[in-house]
Structures are given as C-alpha cells and as structure tokens.
A and B are shown apart, each in its own frame.
Chain A
Amino acid sequence: MKKLAAILVSLLLVVSLAACGSANAANANNAPAEEKTEEKTETTPVAAGEGLGFKDRTKNPYEDPMKFAWIPTRASEANATAWGNGIREELSYWSNTELNVFDPEGDAEQQAKIVSDLVAQGYDGIFLQTINPQTLAASVEEAENAGIPVVCINMGADTPHAALVSMTDFEAGQVIADRIAEELGGEGNVVVIQAKVGAVRGINLEDGFQAQLKNYPGIKILDEQPADWNMEKAQTVMNDFLTAYPDQIDAVFAHNDQMAEGAGMAVQAAGKTGEIYIWGANGETKALEYIEQGIITGTVYTNCKDQGKTAARIMMLYLNSNIDTSTFTKTPVTKMPPITVDASNVSSITPDMRW
C-alpha cells in the first residue's frame, strides 16, 4: 500500500519533469564551478533608451468588475488600517470595484508569496506596503510583467513599478532631529526607542535622524534599544532608560507613535512629564491626543487616509490609460508632505483628517 502512495506522488512530479526535457537544474549540493566574475552592478534592468511602452487595456476600470488587493506589512497597525480605509473610500465610489486585504503578519517571504499568488489569480491592481524592498522585488516584477500595476504605499520594492506614494521616513527622521536640537538649544542627550531589529521603516527613520544629528555635535545619543513597535515593551525600555540615566535624558525619539506613547506613559509615571521631549512618527489619532494632553511632545503627521486615496487615484489613472507600467525604468514617487505636529499646531489636524 505504502509503495503505491509513494509512486503516485513522485510520478505526479517526475512526469512534469520529463515533459520539459533534460533538467539541467544545478542541484544545490553540487554547487556550480563557474567563478563569480562580473562586478556587482547597479540595478538598471531595462536598457535606458527604450522609455515608455504602451499597451491598450481592454477593461474600463470605472465600469468593468475590478479586483484589487491591499497587502500591508501588518494589517493590525494603525497606519496600515488608515491607508486601507483611504483606498477603500476612494474605490467605493465605483461599485464595480472589489478590495481584499491580505495580512502577511510582518513576514517578508509570506508577503512575497501572497503577491505572486495574486498574480496567478488575475487581480487587476495591487496596493502594497513592502516589508523588505529587496525581498519583494522579484514578485513585484512578476506582477508588473503580468500587466498588473503595483502601487506601493510608504515602502516600495527594489524594482521599477507603477508608483510609490511614500511617507518620508528619512526626511521625518531629519525633521525630528532638527526639532529636538532646536528645543534643546543644540546641547543635550537623546535616547532612541527603535523598531523591531531589521525593520526597514525603522532603519530609514534612524538613518535620517543620525544623518541630521551630524550637524548638531552637542546632541549625544545616550542609548538605543528596540521595543518591536509595541507600546508595552516601550514602557519597559523607557523605564530602564530612566533608571540607567537618571535625570540625564533630555529627549526621546521613538520610531513610531505607539512606542512614543509608551515612553510618554513611563515618563508620566516617573513624574517627569514636560521635562523630557518625546517625539514619535506617523501621527495616529492617539498620538495627537497625547500631544494635546502634553504626554508626548510631537510627531510627524501624515494624512494616511489621504495617502491611501492618492494611491487609489493613481491606480485608476494607470488602469484607465494604456501606459504599460512594466516598461518603467524608474518608479515615479509622490511624497506625502510630512507635517511636524506639536502642541502648537495639533488642533490644525481636524477630526476628519485623523486616522
């Protein structure tokens, strides 16, 4: 009986092998002998001269049934929800559209698998917040070549695709560095509460912050510890900072609002509210309220709902045009203006803008 099962399965696979002629697969364990010759070149896959290609699209995005997919890094995060709502709101004006959300739960490979699977299912458009631009490069290219425009939100892929509607993490890092330096008068100590080790968004914020700090020699980074994007870990990390550097901390930079709120809680518990400047990023509603309550100093607000709407409009534009986005040599980027929000201008963010 066991023999039968074994033969059946291997037959299924072997037959398909035989059908395609000699498999010259470089089997992994006898690694190829060929030397690594060429230098590591910059990624410019398509010859520069070709330029924009055109292709007539049969479907009218505003009437024919359209299937869209939205794949954030983690569906449960506030900004991902806001982008999703923005896209849904925009697309809902046309009843022929359908939007499905897929949650890779922060796993880059899982996100890549979902994208390449959606291609096989014949989706019309993909909205994507990539977890890791390199990991997603292959599957985004696969989608584009299949004629599916990929509009990325906030984090693109290392391959030309339809569009990137990006927050400005690097610039946000710089802006926060400037504001902290300004508030501290160029002198003081900062602690950084980082994102999950290896999270690309966290790295961009960190790089912008460090780059800008070079112009303020007086500002010193006392310590950096990750709190994996979540609030309760940030409270613990901040408590440890306060214990390790009693009365030496002048400012806190957290890679997202959640962690800034956690830091705010810890500082409040230590009775030092107001003495320590606390900056987050994203601008979720809870952070804005914490600014109003004075628990945290400020954040870099982006109107994520608006960002989602923009991405949806760009998608509909491409789908209605006969521009073949797979022939792009560079991903066009629209940047959402980062609005630095603190107690002074927090009221300017009206409730409908809050997400």
Chain B
Amino acid sequence: MSNIVKNNPVVKAILSSSRILVLLVLVIFFTAVTKGTFFSYKNLVNILYSVSLIGIMICGACFAVLLGGIDRTVSGNAALSGAIVAMTILRGGVGGGNVALAICLGLGAGILSGLIHGLILSRFNIPAFLLTLATNEILYGFVQLVTSNTLIYVNGCTLMDYIGQKRWLGIPIPVYIMLVCILFAYIILNHTVYGRQVYSVGGNRQSSELSGVPTRRVILIAYIISGFMGALAGFVLSSMNQQASAGQAKNYENNVLAAIVVGGVSMRGGSGSIQNAILGAFLIGVIENGMNLMGVPAIYKDMAKGIIIIVAVAMDMATQPGTPLYNFMKRFKKKAA
C-alpha cells in the first residue's frame, strides 16, 4: 500500500504541501461537526466573499514579500483610496461626481504611495517593515485630512452599489475582482519577464545585478503594484460599505501578513507563490467560517488563528534541513522505520 501512495504524484504533491493537508483536515472536521452545512456551495461563496478584500491586498503585498520586504501600508492605501473616491463622488466638485475620475484619483494615490515607497526602499537598505510602519501612520493622517474625520456616506453611485451589493450568477462582485487580481498576479509572476526577475532578485540580489537584471526597477515596480492593489481593495471596501471613514481597513495588514506566511511564502524572499498565499488566506477564512458555523465563542477565535499559524509554519520549518525539528523528525522516522 505505501508504495502506491508514495509514487502516486497527486498524493505526493498533497503530502508535500503541508498547507493543503491542514486545509483538508479542517474541511473534513468542520463538515462533520456542522453536519454538512459547511460543505455547501453557498458557504463556499460566503468564505470567498469574506476573503476577497484580503485576497486583493495579497496580490499586491505578495510582490514585496517575495523581494524580502514587508509592506504594511496595504491598509493605509486602502483607506486613502476609499476616502478619495468617496469624497470626489460625494462632493461632485471635480467633474460633477464623475465616477471614473474618482476611481482614477483613488488608484492614482495608491500608485503614488507605492512609487514613493519603491524609490526609498530600492535606494536605501531600510527594513521595509519599519519604514511602512511609520508611513502607514502618515497615510492614515492623510485619510483624516481628506475625510476631515467625518464618515462620508455615498449612496448615489451606481457603480459602487453594483460592486458592493449586487451579485452575478449568485457570486458577489468583489469575489470576481479578487479572482481577476489573482489571475493578474499569477500571470505576472509566472509568465512574464518581470515575474522571473522578482524571484531572481528575491533569491539573490547580487547575482541578479551581475546578470544584468535592473534590480532597483524591479523593487520599485513591486511596491507600485502593492500600492495599486491596496488602493483597489480600498475602493471595493468603500463600495461594499457605501461609505468611507478614517478608520477603514485598520489592521488588515496583520491578516494579509498572516495569510502570506501561512501560505508558505518565506519572509527572506525568493520563494513562495501567489497561489499558496491565496491558499493561506482561504485557509484562515475557512477557520473563521468554520468556527462561526460551530458557534465557537469569539474569544477562542484569535487563539485558534494563532495556533494554526504556528502549526502551519512549524510544519514548513520541519521540512528544512538543519532545524532541530527536522532532526527530531529524522530521528523519529529512523526509529519508526
């Protein structure tokens, strides 16, 4: 029996990726406990919907993490773009509430913020975690200026209503937007020259430099994409809520980071894929949804998320030679064999 399992490629792929394993276990467990309601098409759509915002942000932040940086400004960009879009539409000043212009301004702000981060981070070697920690505060400062600390309620805009409320073929629009972003990130990372350069620079910046890869430009574009995706997520969030507020999307960067890490993208850069990062987000979404359906009191949810992340990352570490866990596993297998 064991050799059938061992050399069957599908099984091997599943066994090797610890995350899919954890996911499978969770899905089976939740389905059993909720007597099937978990494993329904409607619930799957709900999970995708609950994960859509984080998913869009991941499609941006993933580029920065693959290059070894951690971009905490996804939330700041989201809040700023949402506020700008709402203000432009509501005030109707510029171009009479013209939606297209509002969106351009909002996404433009995200791109500008990404450009500034990219310039600083590609020129100086500052830990991205620390720089974006400070700049996120600055972005939220600007959001307060734009919204002058009030809640902007936008109810007249058909496009935002469509994105925020309507469904197409039973699936909410933000899910489609997320899927488009994932496709975009997947194509860029796996099928374009830029994607190859991201993995090369993330793995070894000096060897890429000597191979003629424009490393500074690669880093700059990564943060522009990250800024753009943050802004897009902000626009979708404002559409969902039909409002923009100064405290919007707060602390989303922790969820984005947790998902990317659970997805097996290494913090040192160079390894990990967008599919796995999204899988990480989906995994966390499944946990939250499963616990909701089981009626698990809210107070246990945070703890469960923390433990799941530790388990998922520890399983990864066990596959890397040299770590005590790896040696322990090796000794364990030897004893078992």
State yes or no: do A and B touch (Cβ within 8 Å): yes
Contact B37 A244 (CB under 8 A): yes
Is A323 located at the chain interface by the 8 A CB criterion?
Answer: no
Contact B46 A240 (CB under 8 A): yes
A101–B145 CA distance with the chains assembled, in angstroms: 12
Contact A269 B167 (CB under 8 A): yes
Chain A interface mostly = helix
Which residues of B have CB within 8 Å of A244? Answer: 34, 37, 292-293, 295
Q: Given A76-B147, A231-B241, A240-B293, verify A197-B34 contact (CB < 8 Å).
A: no
Contact A75 B165 (CB under 8 A): no
Binary flags per residue of A238-276, CB closer than 8 Å to B gives 1, else 0: 011101101000000000001001100100110000000
Is B304 located at the chain interface by the 8 A CB criterion?
Answer: no
Contact B149 A76 (CB under 8 A): yes
Q: Given A78-B151, A243-B42, A268-B165, verify A194-B298 contact (CB < 8 Å).
A: yes
Binds A, one of B64-72, B216-224, B242-250: B242-250
Is A178 located at the chain interface by the 8 A CB criterion?
Answer: no
Least CB separation from B38: chain A residue: A243
Q: Given A103-B144, A244-B37, verify A286-B243 contact (CB < 8 Å).
A: yes
Which residues of B have CB within 8 Å of A258? Answer: 241
Which residues of B have CB within 8 Å of A246? Answer: 37
A122–B278 CA distance with the chains assembled, in angstroms: 52
Within the complex, the shortest CB–CB distance from B152 to chain A, in Å, comes to 10
A287–B286 CA distance with the chains assembled, in angstroms: 31
Within the complex, the shortest CB–CB distance from A303 to chain B, in Å, comes to 17
Contact A230 B43 (CB under 8 A): no
Point out which of A265, A268, A285 has the most chain B C-beta atoms below 10 A from its C-beta. Answer: A265
Which residues of A have CB within 8 Å of B149? Answer: 75-76, 81, 84, 101, 103
Binary flags per residue of B9-42, CB closer than 8 Å to A gives 1, else 0: 0000000000000000000000000100110101
Contact A230 B293 (CB under 8 A): no
A49–B314 CA distance with the chains assembled, in angstroms: 65
Binary flags per residue of B175-197, CB closer than 8 Å to A gives 1, else 0: 00000000000000000000000
Contact A231 B292 (CB under 8 A): no
A197–B292 CA distance with the chains assembled, in angstroms: 15
Is B327 located at the chain interface by the 8 A CB criterion?
Answer: no
Q: Which one of B46, B150, B155 contacts A81 once the chains associate, using CB atoms below 8 Å?
A: B150
Which residues of A have CB within 8 Å of B172? Answer: 269
Least CB separation from A293: chain B residue: B155
Which residues of B have CB within 8 Å of A223? Answer: 295
Least CB separation from B241: chain A residue: A231
Q: Which one of A75, A103, A225 contacts B292 once the chains associate, using CB atoms below 8 Å?
A: A225
Q: Given A75-B246, A81-B150, verify A289-B37 contact (CB < 8 Å).
A: no
Is A74 located at the chain interface by the 8 A CB criterion?
Answer: yes
Is A345 located at the chain interface by the 8 A CB criterion?
Answer: no
Binary flags per residue of B291-310, CB closer than 8 Å to A gives 1, else 0: 01101001100000000000
Q: Given A76-B149, A103-B144, verify A286-B242 contact (CB < 8 Å).
A: yes
A47–B245 CA distance with the chains assembled, in angstroms: 46
Least CB separation from A234: chain B residue: B241
Which residues of B have CB within 8 Å of A78? Answer: 151, 153
Having A76-B246, A232-B241, one finds 6 other A-B pairs with CB under 8 Å, namely: A76-B144, A77-B151, A77-B245, A231-B241, A235-B240, A269-B172
- Can you list 24 A-B pairs with a CB-CB distance of less than 8 A? A74-B247, A75-B149, A76-B247, A77-B151, A101-B149, A197-B298, A231-B240, A236-B50, A237-B292, A239-B46, A239-B49, A239-B50, A243-B37, A243-B38, A243-B42, A243-B43, A244-B34, A244-B37, A246-B37, A258-B241, A265-B165, A285-B153, A286-B242, A289-B155
